[in-house]
Amino acid sequence: MEFFDAIKNRRSIRSYRKQDLTQDLISKLVAAARMAPSAGNAQPWAFIIAKENRTKQALAQAAYNQRWLEAASVVFVVCADMKRAEESYGERGKTLYALQDTSAAIENILLTATSLGLGGCWMGAFREEEVGKIIKAPPHMRPVALIPIGYPNESPPPRSRRPHSEVVLIESF
Amino acid sequence: MEFFDAIKNRRSIRSYRKQDLTQDLISKLVAAARMAPSAGNAQPWAFIIAKENRTKQALAQAAYNQRWLEAASVVFVVCADMKRAEESYGERGKTLYALQDTSAAIENILLTATSLGLGGCWMGAFREEEVGKIIKAPPHMRPVALIPIGYPNESPPPRSRRPHSEVVLIESF
């Protein structure tokens, strides 16, 4: 796919066909995530790849019972490594850079999924402690997003955008 | 450019040729930023496009005197709209979603720049209050990154990556 088409065609996909991702496709998504930029190249992240039904069911529950995610072929549980972030950059590392770095990795996953004919959704609303238990996360690993990925079973139209003049300013506010 | 080449070829570029971006190129970068996903489609962001030398000089100073950024053709000052984030999602909106949403927009800018033969760098280390003053930001607009963009005058090799087995786990830690 041409680069900009992935940017333009990405949607939040919440309905999936019953078709599993091959290992090759999963590997491409992981490769994209790992190539994301990070402050000082610290890479303060971990990616849990959940494929088992019972894991996906538990994650759906922790996400306020959003059961549609169970139909995804895989769910990436993206974690910010707070120990690594703090060692490199203290408080700013934990409260800003670790969140930015994992977000860059997530956007890489979502765009790459689009480019491969797959679809996913960035889920931020879930009980972090419960997700941590499901994936047996050590205390310094903070789950920051659930990213279900699968073959799209819907093709939603583009979402509306705030006016250009409201969000783009020249030189200053 | 093929989609995955942008992911693979993106580098942090800190040296730029003396050549300005056309308005068309700037518009593409802005379009990519605005197409990023955001929690509840709230789009809690603003993008200041700094092109004047005195603005770039002031930003360089606020970034602990990283004067190389003055040579960039444009500097995007990316702001998180804390009022909008809080209205939609309270504390989690301000401390997580607004940072994730702006980061997705930033990654879109950097990848799009790569796809257009441009280069940029994600700068997170700067005095936020000082940057806020330079761009006359209202109190609820938090500057979260400076993104200088220009024609690359260097071609750094890929940075090392942490081992796959350390950052990718199946089902749980």
ipTM metric: 0.98
Residues B63-91 pLDDT 10s: 999 999 999 999 999 999 999 999 999 99
Q: In 10 A of CB B56, how many CB atoms?
A: 22
Using alpha carbons only, give the angle B119, B120, B126 rounded to the nearest 5 degrees: 165
Distances (CA, A) of A41 to A27, A103, B73, B122: 21, 14, 25, 11
Q: Which residue of B has its CA nearest to A97?
A: B124
pLDDT tens, residue by residue, A16-68: 999 999 999 999 999 999 999 999 999 999 999 999 999 999 999 999 999 99
Q: What pLDDT is stored for residue B36 in this prediction?
A: 98
**How much is the pLDDT for B60?**
98
Query: B135 vs chain A: nearest CA distance in angstroms?
Result: 4
CB contact under 8 A, A167 and B135: no
If you search the block for the tokens 């997530």, which residue do you land on? A106
Where do the domains of chain A lie?
A: 3-155
Interface A:B, Cβ pairs < 8 A: 196
CA distance to partner chain B, nearest, from residue A17 (Å)? 21
User: With an 8 Å Cβ cutoff, are B55 and A172 in contact?
Assistant: yes
Q: Which of A109, A2, A94, A119 is nearest to A42 (CA)?
A: A94
Q: How far apart are CA A102 and CA A122, in angstroms?
A: 12
> How confident is residue B26, by pLDDT bands cut at 50, 70 and 90?
very high
Among A2, A121, A126, A169, pick the best mutation site for testing chain B contact (most B Cβ within 10 A).
A169
Note the CATH architecture for domain A3-155. 3-Layer(aba) Sandwich (3.40)
Average pLDDT estimate for B50-60:
98
Rg (CA), chain A: 17
Q: pLDDT category, B145, cuts 50, 70, 90?
A: very high
Instruction: Please tell me the pTM assigned to this model.
Output: 0.98
B31 band by pLDDT with thresholds 50, 70 and 90: very high
| Contact check, Cβ <8 Å, A111/B106 | no
